[in-house]
Chain A
Amino acid sequence: MRFAFKTSYAQDLGLFRDRVQRNAYIALFLALLVLPRLVPEYLGDLSLVFIYGLCGVSLMVLAGYTGLVSLGHSAFLGIGAYAHVYFAQDLGVPWVVAVALAAAVTAAAGVLVGLPALRMTGVYLTIATLAFALIIQEVFTRWDRVTGGLKGKPVQKAVVFGLPLGHEVGFYFLCLAFLIAGLWLTSNLLRSPTGRAWVAIRDSEVAAQSMGVNLAVYKTMAFAYSAGLMGVAGALFAHKIGFLAPDIFSVLLSIQFLLMVAVGGLGSLHGAVYGAVFVAMLPVVISQARDAVPVWLGQVFAVFGREAGRAVFSLVDRFVKQPGLEPGIFGLILVLFILFEPLGVYGRWRKITLFFSTFPLYKHATFKRQKSYMRSERLR
């Protein structure tokens, strides 16, 4: 078992718990630096992991830390993407400035949503953000002078400070840099009074208020910050997909982001990143499984004769090639996580590490949740 002995208050303010953790992160960083050489064929997917990671961090701030569950983040991503492309291509603003402007525009949109959202609680807010996302999607369709409407808008490769980062390796590092910056800024906020105020609002608005937290200011701030991060992610996302069309930013994308924070583990930045890895890599895994699973099953059932094997193969093959299967798998995974591991991947990870670090003294009850009767949220 390993203890982190603390000798000063400053130690609690560090980004990492102790030296072991810091070294682990440095090792991870080094691994990410050499990764492009090891798995060049997955670079595109990895960049998407980083962009989704940024989205996850953004939604984690709002849903996981401030307790405001938003289904409108696809709209923020879209606003960021369109704004960035509009500034960079149509107005010819330098790339970095365009990203900053996109973040600012998206943050402003966040404030716009956040202000009426002050009067709403719980699921009403979720529904309102959902309505916002649907309206914005319609705006993307209709405002074709800026967005290109249904015809869509092609996106050029990124050129940062005259450095063309269009190729996959360059873009990989660009996304990685933005993700690390986003994580750093967010963890800075979370270890300062702002982050504490957000958590306070999540757990008890009335107590937060009577301790001096201005609910309006901090909720709007959470919305603005979260939207701003989403704007940056949107700018990168635009380059990643290379072509903007309104139906990319549908509610299904918002649902994927929520899936990310739920599967990763609500209320931790680790969770946001785990969730991003999960959501971005799952389609890759599914598409590989589509080819592999029928063959395996066919081989297994070939034990009962070649005919049986072939029949199972074609049956399974037909089933997995169904176009509607993938969202269903996403949905199923989400359902299973909510039912059996509400703390998400990160929660499971903590349980496993705790099991080994306290072996053989691990208590099953450590993470046991209190069985509760229906706790009314109607009167909040």
Chain B
Amino acid sequence: MDIILQLVLNGLAVGCIYGLVALGFVLIYKATELVNFAQGDLMMLGAFTCYMFIVWHGFGYWTAVALAVASVALFGALLDAAVLRRVLGQPQFAVVMLTIGLGAVFRSFASITWGSEIYTLPTPFSARATMVGGVSVSHEYVSIIVGTVLLCAVLYVFFTHTRIGVAMQAASQNQLAAYYMGIPVKLMFSLIWAISAGVAAIAGVLLAPVSLIDTNLGFIGLKAFAAAVLGGFGSIPGALVGGLTIGLIELYSGAYLPQGFKDVAAYVVLLLVLAVRPQGMFGAVGRKKV
């Protein structure tokens, strides 16, 4: 019984990370129809930046987090303005290749700037746990779950209750119509990139204490694909639910299936979903008109 609860907690925490990275995919996809293969690498940059502010420059944890998220978000906006805006409306292939290329550049940048060592991020929650009903609740895992919930609440309010959030939604649903309504579409896209990169950075910061920081941290982005696809790729709640599902499946297959299944569980789910129900749990089927 305890082991099951423990797995649920850990699975939810891991799932939150997948969900956050998937959320980043979905935000960008909804707005610009680009699938950002570099999302995981943005997360990696977020974790490294936070580490740098804490350990190299001696900032406090919260200041460092704020600085890291802000700088990665700014970087995301600049990236959109300088690079990604140019490929809007080009075939998917070009975009996929572009973001893959960017991801490689980021990894290379990280390994040159921060070296190829493996770091641990010191946090106020590190290595502390509370026993709740026979289950050891690690504070790091709780911080991930709480952080995700808070972030989602903020994003929800932002997208539904603020003028700028609604304008963003409009811009993603119909670029041209939004433009005619006087919405600065380019600015909105840059903002969405900023938000998405910021979310990735937060995911990185939350993940860093339980994982380790190295340049390959971004490969978690691949598992987040599974989350995004499971949720329907266009649906924000779907991304989170997908992330949680993948997290749970992964931990359970690690516990109950033969060795090796844990690492590929997410991909097997991804393939199954794509083969059986390509629109995911929350997606709608669309059909091109001829």
Contacts and interface: CB of A to CB of B under 8 A. Distances in A.
A88 B287 CA distance: 48
A380 B92 CA distance: 12
B92 A122 contact: yes
B154 interface: no
Nearest to A255: B100
B277 to A, nearest CB: 9
Contacts of B226: 131
Chain A contact residues, majority secondary structure: helix
B107 A327 contact: yes
Interface in A338-380: 338-339, 342, 371-380
B220 interface: no
Contact of B260 (A123, A138, A259, A342): A138
B130 interface: no
Interface residues of A, number: 54
Max count, chain B CB within 10 A of own CB: residue among A322, A323, A324, A373: A324
B142 to A, nearest CB: 30
A380 B270 CA distance: 20
Contact of B102 (A141, A258, A331): A331
Given A142-B260, A322-B112, A331-B102, A124 B271 contact: no
A335 B268 contact: no
B51 to A, nearest CB: 17
Contacts of B176: 373
B96 A334 contact: no
Contact of A324 (B98, B100, B107, B270): B107
B98 A335 contact: yes
Interface in B97-134: 97-98, 100-105, 107-112, 116
Interface string A303-343: 00000000000000001001111111111111100110010
A227 interface: no
A334 B104 contact: yes
B234 interface: yes
Contacts of B215: 324
B33 A328 contact: no
Contacts of A126: 35, 92, 96
Contacts of B260: 138, 141-142
Interface string B257-290: 0011001100110110011001000000011111
Contacts of A108: none
Given A128-B270, A135-B267, A322-B111, A334 B290 contact: no
Interface string B167-184: 000000001100000000
B116 A331 contact: no
Contacts of B175: 373-374
Interface in B15-59: 32-33, 35
Given A138-B263, A331-B103, A379-B289, A131 B89 contact: no
Interface of B: 32-33, 35, 83, 86-90, 92-94, 96-98, 100-105, 107-112, 116, 175-176, 215, 222, 225-226, 229, 233-234, 259-260, 263-264, 267-268, 270-271, 274-275, 278, 286-290
Given A323-B116, A324-B116, 13 more contacts: A69-B96, A122-B92, A132-B267, A138-B263, A324-B215, A331-B108, A332-B104, A335-B101, A338-B101, A375-B89, A378-B286, A379-B286, A379-B287
16 contacts: A69-B92, A127-B35, A131-B222, A138-B264, A142-B259, A255-B104, A258-B100, A259-B97, A323-B116, A327-B108, A328-B112, A331-B100, A331-B108, A338-B94, A338-B97, A372-B90
Q: Which 3 A-B pairs have the closest CB atoms?
A: A328-B108, A331-B104, A324-B111
